[in-house]
Amino acid sequence: MCTVIGTRSSFISEQDLTKALEATTSRGPDDMRIMKHNAGILGFQRLAIMGLTPEGMQPFALNGALAVCNGEIYGFRSLKNQLQEKGYVFQSDSDCEILLPLFEEYGTDMFGMLDAEYACILLTAGGDILAARDPFGIRPLYYGYAADGQPVFASEPKNLTGLTDRIMPFPPGHYYADGEFHCYRDLTAVSDYLPDDVDAAAAGIRDRLVEGVRKRLDADAPLGYLLSGGLDSSLVCAIGQKLSDKPIRTFAIGMDTDAIDLKYARQAADWIGSDHREIIMTKQDVLEALDPVIRTLATYDITTIRASIGMYLICRAIRETTDVRVLLTGEISDELFGYKYTDFAPDAEAFQQEACKRVRELHMYDVLRADRCISVHSMEARVPFGDLDFADYVMHLDPAIKMNVYGKGKYLLRRAFMGTEYLPQDLLMREKAAFSDAVGHSMADDLHQLAEETYTDEEFEQRRQKYTHARPFTKESLLYREIFEKYYPGQSQMVTDFWMPNRDWEGCQVNDPSARYLSNYGASGQ
């Protein structure tokens, strides 16, 4: 990961940006640079992944324009060759160096051309400021307005604290230009469905997911994989191993008492032949991580925080004990293929609309978790299920064949790899436990207990009333909100609300986001 920051505001100095970047040194520990422009200023912290030489350091400059980008641009070499044929000369092997030449050639149309996970800021030769973010929001970007009304953009909320009164997430799939946000790609804008039946859909899913993993293996720094033992991460690891000529490095985490997924992760690792390592966490580890995790995430959301504790701790262990700098993860599968609660969708159109909602909000939840937990430990996240071609294909499949009408959740994804050697049938068909439960039911129980010990019933009712937006509704949610407010006072609007199942659907009237409270959870957590 890297950090980007930029503004045209005359109220913000180089010293201000230097201070703002101090909060995210771990995102880009390799180097830092701030450059003034005739009408603005850009800053960059580097984690070197592609083009490891000093020439790959940003900001990049071209004909009076500057650019910074936190991202991976897949297939950049073909674009680079096309630009070289037009006479452009490149100084590095960095994928992001192509952005300014692309902008010279295509203007803002270039954003729709990128097959990438990215967030970028540009200052043009004419003094305009532009910014853009990938369609899923896999790479973070936030904005606010300085005292003179000029926008200021940065990778994380903590970069903007003190520079603006109100911090907001930059909308995914948009670019900012001429003082306005413009949507260049909306993955949820689906007007017609493909005619593919179950067999054709399974083949299309398999081919595109394999290609999505293949793209993400291109790195000049060592790769690793997070392996929970569930369907999504196991498939990413299995595909990665098929594409590798040596054992890949996989990592799993669980509580010291009742971790469900460690045994399944070990089975998957044994099957694919990976170099596997287990990390064990204790109750003390969990409770000590709570405060730094919330500060790292900049959220108060219950399920995001629960699931982040294990991810934060495993990433810390990987960083401290290995040379891995890129981690492939299994996020974004549930949004596309369904959660446990979407089994209760009343019809196909409701299922599709729920998928659209989850995709639009994803940048505030699961991909936020993946980015922060990995980047705070100076590594980069890559998300194959977020491959644009793959996701666009799945979103255009008829929701009637994506719904759970098979007695097995995410059946299409499972079907895509049936009869192959990627995973054994028992792992391929096992129901996934909720991540915060799978690392150990006792972890969530320990957090519940901490919240109960923190507030009496009267204190809970009194203290939650002061929040008008996303009001806490359990003692646990109040505990998280109060820690959040300690670091980001008055900034709760950065997250729309608590992530919860669709409580308008029969069967989803629960008061906790964990799937284990749903009536259809069954043997998922065993």
Would you please indicate which residues are annotated as catalytic (active-site) residues? 2
- HSE of 172 in the Cβ direction (CA atoms, 13 Å)? 24
Q: What's the Cα-to-Cα distance from 251 to each of 173, 275, 519, rounded to whole Å?
A: 31, 9, 31
**Element housing 104 (H / E):** helix 99-106
Neighbour count for residue 425 (Cβ, 10 Å) = 11
User: Which structure tokens are listed for 218?
Assistant: 């291109």
Q: What's the Cα-to-Cα distance from 44 to each of 28, 95, 298, rounded to whole Å?
A: 8, 16, 21
Neighbour count for residue 54 (Cβ, 10 Å) = 12
Closest Cα partner for 52 from 295, 322, 367, 380? 380
Q: How far apart are alpha carbons 79 and 114 in whole angstroms?
A: 10
> What's the length of the chain?
526
Buried b (16+ CB within 10 A) or exposed e, 319-351: beeeebbbbbbbbbbbbbbbbbbbbbbeebebb
Q: How far apart are alpha carbons 120 and 113 in whole angstroms?
A: 14
Angle at 192 between CA 186 and CA 195, to 5 degrees: 125
Residues 6+ apart with CB under 8 A from 226: 233, 250, 251, 252, 311, 314, 327, 328, 329, 330
Angle at 499 between CA 183 and CA 352, to 5 degrees: 55
